[in-house]
Amino acid sequence: MHHWKLTCFGPPRLEKGSVEVQFSQRKDVALFVYLAVTGQICHRDTLAALLWPESDQQEARAGLRRALHRLRQSTGELLLLSGDTVQVGPAADQDSPAGLWLDTRAFRSLIDDCTLQAGPPLSPACRVSLTQAAALYTADFLAGFTLKDSPQFDEWQFFTGDDLRALLARALVSLAGDGRATGEFEQATGYARRWLALDHLHEPAHRLLMEL
Protein backbone atom coordinates (compact mmCIF):
# COMPACT_ATOMS: atom_id res chain seq x y z
CA MET A 1 0.00 0.00 0.00
CA HIS A 2 1.31 3.42 -0.95
CA HIS A 3 2.07 5.85 1.85
CA TRP A 4 0.74 8.89 -0.03
CA LYS A 5 -2.12 8.86 -2.53
CA LEU A 6 -3.40 11.75 -4.64
CA THR A 7 -6.58 11.34 -6.66
CA CYS A 8 -7.46 13.95 -9.28
CA PHE A 9 -10.29 12.22 -11.12
CA GLY A 10 -13.09 14.11 -9.43
CA PRO A 11 -12.44 16.57 -6.58
CA PRO A 12 -8.74 16.47 -5.60
CA ARG A 13 -8.00 14.37 -2.53
CA LEU A 14 -4.68 13.63 -0.82
CA GLU A 15 -4.39 10.76 1.64
CA LYS A 16 -1.57 9.71 3.93
CA GLY A 17 -2.14 6.06 4.60
CA SER A 18 -5.93 5.97 4.87
CA VAL A 19 -6.29 9.45 6.40
CA GLU A 20 -7.27 12.42 4.24
CA VAL A 21 -4.96 15.42 4.41
CA GLN A 22 -6.85 18.65 5.02
CA PHE A 23 -5.82 21.82 3.19
CA SER A 24 -6.75 25.22 4.61
CA GLN A 25 -6.64 27.11 1.30
CA ARG A 26 -7.87 26.22 -2.20
CA LYS A 27 -4.68 27.65 -3.68
CA ASP A 28 -2.69 25.21 -1.54
CA VAL A 29 -4.62 22.40 -3.22
CA ALA A 30 -4.10 23.90 -6.67
CA LEU A 31 -0.37 24.37 -6.05
CA PHE A 32 0.17 20.82 -4.84
CA VAL A 33 -1.92 19.29 -7.63
CA TYR A 34 -0.14 21.33 -10.31
CA LEU A 35 3.28 20.28 -9.04
CA ALA A 36 2.27 16.62 -8.69
CA VAL A 37 0.49 16.26 -12.02
CA THR A 38 3.06 18.12 -14.13
CA GLY A 39 5.94 16.38 -12.35
CA GLN A 40 8.07 19.39 -13.14
CA ILE A 41 10.68 21.34 -11.20
CA CYS A 42 9.06 24.77 -11.17
CA HIS A 43 10.56 28.18 -10.51
CA ARG A 44 8.92 30.15 -7.71
CA ASP A 45 8.20 33.11 -10.00
CA THR A 46 6.36 30.83 -12.42
CA LEU A 47 4.17 29.45 -9.65
CA ALA A 48 3.55 32.90 -8.18
CA ALA A 49 2.42 34.25 -11.56
CA LEU A 50 0.25 31.18 -12.13
CA LEU A 51 -1.71 31.41 -8.88
CA TRP A 52 -1.52 35.11 -8.01
CA PRO A 53 -1.75 36.75 -11.46
CA GLU A 54 -3.39 39.97 -10.21
CA SER A 55 -0.73 40.66 -7.55
CA ASP A 56 2.60 42.34 -8.10
CA GLN A 57 5.70 40.16 -7.92
CA GLN A 58 6.42 40.91 -4.27
CA GLU A 59 2.87 40.14 -3.12
CA ALA A 60 2.69 37.03 -5.32
CA ARG A 61 5.98 35.70 -3.95
CA ALA A 62 4.75 36.35 -0.40
CA GLY A 63 1.54 34.45 -1.13
CA LEU A 64 3.55 31.58 -2.54
CA ARG A 65 5.84 31.48 0.51
CA ARG A 66 2.85 31.22 2.82
CA ALA A 67 1.31 28.48 0.69
CA LEU A 68 4.56 26.51 0.60
CA HIS A 69 4.91 26.82 4.37
CA ARG A 70 1.42 25.40 4.86
CA LEU A 71 2.12 22.60 2.38
CA ARG A 72 5.34 21.64 4.13
CA GLN A 73 3.37 21.29 7.35
CA SER A 74 0.73 19.04 5.75
CA THR A 75 2.77 17.08 3.17
CA GLY A 76 6.21 16.98 4.77
CA GLU A 77 8.76 15.10 2.70
CA LEU A 78 6.68 15.22 -0.48
CA LEU A 79 7.42 18.90 -1.05
CA LEU A 80 10.99 19.46 -2.23
CA LEU A 81 12.37 23.01 -2.04
CA SER A 82 15.74 23.99 -3.46
CA GLY A 83 16.64 27.66 -3.80
CA ASP A 84 14.12 29.19 -6.18
CA THR A 85 12.66 25.86 -7.35
CA VAL A 86 9.85 23.67 -6.07
CA GLN A 87 8.74 20.16 -6.93
CA VAL A 88 6.69 17.25 -5.58
CA GLY A 89 8.31 13.84 -5.35
CA PRO A 90 9.19 11.10 -5.39
CA ALA A 91 6.78 9.14 -7.54
CA ALA A 92 5.64 5.83 -6.11
CA ASP A 93 6.31 2.61 -7.96
CA GLN A 94 6.61 -1.03 -7.06
CA ASP A 95 10.13 -0.48 -5.75
CA SER A 96 9.30 2.73 -3.86
CA PRO A 97 5.88 2.38 -2.23
CA ALA A 98 6.58 5.24 0.18
CA GLY A 99 6.34 7.85 -2.60
CA LEU A 100 3.30 9.60 -4.01
CA TRP A 101 0.82 7.48 -5.99
CA LEU A 102 -1.12 9.62 -8.45
CA ASP A 103 -4.21 8.34 -10.26
CA THR A 104 -3.66 10.35 -13.44
CA ARG A 105 -0.08 9.11 -13.72
CA ALA A 106 -1.20 5.50 -13.20
CA PHE A 107 -3.96 6.05 -15.79
CA ARG A 108 -1.53 7.31 -18.41
CA SER A 109 0.92 4.50 -17.68
CA LEU A 110 -1.72 1.82 -18.14
CA ILE A 111 -2.77 3.24 -21.48
CA ASP A 112 0.84 3.71 -22.61
CA ASP A 113 1.36 0.00 -22.00
CA CYS A 114 -0.99 -0.65 -24.91
CA THR A 115 0.06 2.13 -27.29
CA LEU A 116 1.51 -0.32 -29.83
CA GLN A 117 -1.18 -2.95 -29.37
CA ALA A 118 -2.65 -4.17 -32.63
CA GLY A 119 -6.19 -5.39 -32.54
CA PRO A 120 -8.88 -6.25 -31.88
CA PRO A 121 -8.80 -8.64 -30.22
CA LEU A 122 -6.51 -7.29 -27.52
CA SER A 123 -3.83 -9.30 -25.81
CA PRO A 124 -4.82 -10.47 -22.31
CA ALA A 125 -2.28 -8.10 -20.71
CA CYS A 126 -3.51 -5.13 -22.70
CA ARG A 127 -7.13 -5.96 -21.93
CA VAL A 128 -6.32 -5.91 -18.22
CA SER A 129 -4.38 -2.63 -18.49
CA LEU A 130 -7.13 -0.80 -20.37
CA THR A 131 -9.83 -2.18 -18.07
CA GLN A 132 -7.90 -0.89 -15.07
CA ALA A 133 -7.37 2.48 -16.75
CA ALA A 134 -11.09 2.85 -17.49
CA ALA A 135 -11.88 1.96 -13.88
CA LEU A 136 -9.49 4.64 -12.59
CA TYR A 137 -11.33 7.34 -14.53
CA THR A 138 -14.21 7.81 -12.08
CA ALA A 139 -14.91 11.46 -13.00
CA ASP A 140 -13.37 14.25 -15.06
CA PHE A 141 -10.06 15.78 -13.99
CA LEU A 142 -10.55 17.97 -10.87
CA ALA A 143 -14.31 17.93 -11.40
CA GLY A 144 -15.95 20.66 -9.33
CA PHE A 145 -12.67 22.39 -8.48
CA THR A 146 -11.93 25.90 -9.78
CA LEU A 147 -9.91 28.98 -8.91
CA LYS A 148 -11.85 32.14 -9.71
CA ASP A 149 -8.87 34.50 -9.88
CA SER A 150 -6.34 32.22 -11.60
CA PRO A 151 -7.24 31.96 -15.30
CA GLN A 152 -3.91 30.35 -16.25
CA PHE A 153 -4.52 27.55 -13.76
CA ASP A 154 -8.06 27.12 -15.10
CA GLU A 155 -6.64 26.91 -18.63
CA TRP A 156 -4.10 24.29 -17.57
CA GLN A 157 -6.85 22.34 -15.80
CA PHE A 158 -9.06 22.45 -18.90
CA PHE A 159 -6.42 21.24 -21.35
CA THR A 160 -5.12 18.56 -18.98
CA GLY A 161 -8.66 17.30 -18.49
CA ASP A 162 -9.31 17.37 -22.24
CA ASP A 163 -6.20 15.27 -22.86
CA LEU A 164 -7.22 12.73 -20.22
CA ARG A 165 -10.72 12.47 -21.70
CA ALA A 166 -9.18 11.77 -25.10
CA LEU A 167 -7.08 8.98 -23.59
CA LEU A 168 -10.18 7.54 -21.93
CA ALA A 169 -12.01 7.60 -25.26
CA ARG A 170 -9.13 5.71 -26.87
CA ALA A 171 -9.26 3.06 -24.13
CA LEU A 172 -13.04 2.71 -24.37
CA VAL A 173 -12.93 2.32 -28.15
CA SER A 174 -10.32 -0.41 -27.83
CA LEU A 175 -12.27 -2.23 -25.13
CA ALA A 176 -15.54 -1.99 -27.06
CA GLY A 177 -13.87 -3.25 -30.22
CA ASP A 178 -12.28 -6.07 -28.29
CA GLY A 179 -15.64 -7.10 -26.86
CA ARG A 180 -17.19 -7.09 -30.31
CA ALA A 181 -14.35 -9.22 -31.70
CA THR A 182 -14.60 -11.78 -28.87
CA GLY A 183 -18.38 -11.90 -28.79
CA GLU A 184 -18.73 -10.22 -25.39
CA PHE A 185 -21.38 -7.85 -26.70
CA GLU A 186 -22.93 -6.82 -23.40
CA GLN A 187 -19.59 -5.70 -22.02
CA ALA A 188 -18.68 -4.03 -25.30
CA THR A 189 -21.99 -2.15 -25.30
CA GLY A 190 -21.24 -0.79 -21.84
CA TYR A 191 -17.92 0.60 -23.00
CA ALA A 192 -19.53 2.04 -26.15
CA ARG A 193 -22.21 3.78 -24.08
CA ARG A 194 -19.55 5.24 -21.86
CA TRP A 195 -17.66 6.46 -24.93
CA LEU A 196 -20.83 8.08 -26.24
CA ALA A 197 -21.40 9.77 -22.86
CA LEU A 198 -18.16 11.71 -23.41
CA ASP A 199 -19.74 13.37 -26.46
CA HIS A 200 -23.41 12.72 -27.20
CA LEU A 201 -23.00 14.10 -30.75
CA HIS A 202 -20.03 11.90 -31.65
CA GLU A 203 -21.13 9.99 -34.76
CA PRO A 204 -18.56 7.13 -34.58
CA ALA A 205 -19.71 6.35 -31.04
CA HIS A 206 -23.36 6.26 -32.18
CA ARG A 207 -22.42 4.01 -35.10
CA LEU A 208 -20.48 1.58 -32.91
CA LEU A 209 -23.34 1.36 -30.43
CA MET A 210 -25.82 0.65 -33.23
CA GLU A 211 -23.57 -2.09 -34.60
CA LEU A 212 -23.31 -3.73 -31.20
194-205 tens-digit pLDDT: 988 887 767 776
Least confident of 57-61, 101-105, 166-170, 191-195: 191-195
Tell which CATH classification among 3.30.2130.10, 1.10.10.10, 3.90.226.10, 3.40.30.10 matches the domain 4-88: 1.10.10.10
3-state DSSP of the chain: CCCEEEECEECCEEEECCEECCCCCHHHHHHHHHHHHHCCCEEHHHHHHHHCCCCCHHHHHHHHHHHHHHHHHHHHHHEEEECCEEEECCECECCECCCEEEHHHHHHHHHHCCCCCCCCCCCHHHHHHHHHHHHHCCCCECCCCCCCCCHHHHHHHHHHHHHHHHHHHHHHHHHHHHHHHHCCHHHHHHHHHHHHHHCCCCHHHHHHHHHC
11-45 tens-digit pLDDT: 999 999 889 999 999 999 999 999 999 999 999 99
**Confidence band, pLDDT 50/70/90 cuts, at residue 96:** low
Stated pTM of the model: 0.91
Average pLDDT, the chain: 90
Mean pLDDT in residue range 113-120: 72
**Confidence band, pLDDT 50/70/90 cuts, at residue 116:** low
